[in-house]
Amino acid sequence: MIFLIDENLNVGIAEILKSDGIDAIHINALGLSGASDREVLDEAARQKRCVVTRNRNDFLELTKHFFSEGRPHYGVLIVPKSYRLKDYARIAHAVAWMVHNNPHAFQQYAFLFLPPQLSHD
């Protein structure tokens, strides 16, 4: 599985995932800072990457549009608000856990959620 990290998440997530052997790139590294959510999903689809984002509502609507238009994309992984943005390492480790423990969940049009973070110890 390969990932495109949305700009509403820390660039460190991509760096940690890469160090774990997972292909991940932050949207800013592609020169797409400030891109619309549609542009982000278009680019992710072009590169066959799953988008990792915190923006649930917009990407849910875009997934519906892509599906109805027959335009495939390679999934969206939502980071719930139970993860604090400054705890980007926890987010990265949770993404890696999903990749290693449930790789078949990542399919075309998949709309997935990281398991909620229950504590901030």
Q: Rounded to a whole number, what is the distance in angstroms from the first to the last CA of the chain? A: 29
pLDDT per residue as tens digits for the range 1-41: 899 999 999 999 999 999 999 999 999 999 999 999 999 99
pLDDT per residue as tens digits for the range 55-107: 999 999 999 999 999 999 999 999 999 999 999 999 999 999 999 998 889 99
pTM confidence score: 0.93
Average pLDDT across the chain, whole number: 93
Over range 39-50, report the average pLDDT. 97
How is domain 2-113 classified at the CATH fold level? Rossmann fold (3.40.50)
Q: Is the pLDDT of residue 121 over 70?
A: no
- Residue ranges covered by each domain of the chain: 2-113
Q: Which of 26, 88, 102, 21 is nearest to 117 (CA)?
A: 88
* Strand order from edge to edge, sheet including 2-5: 23-26, 2-5, 50-53, 76-78, 111-113
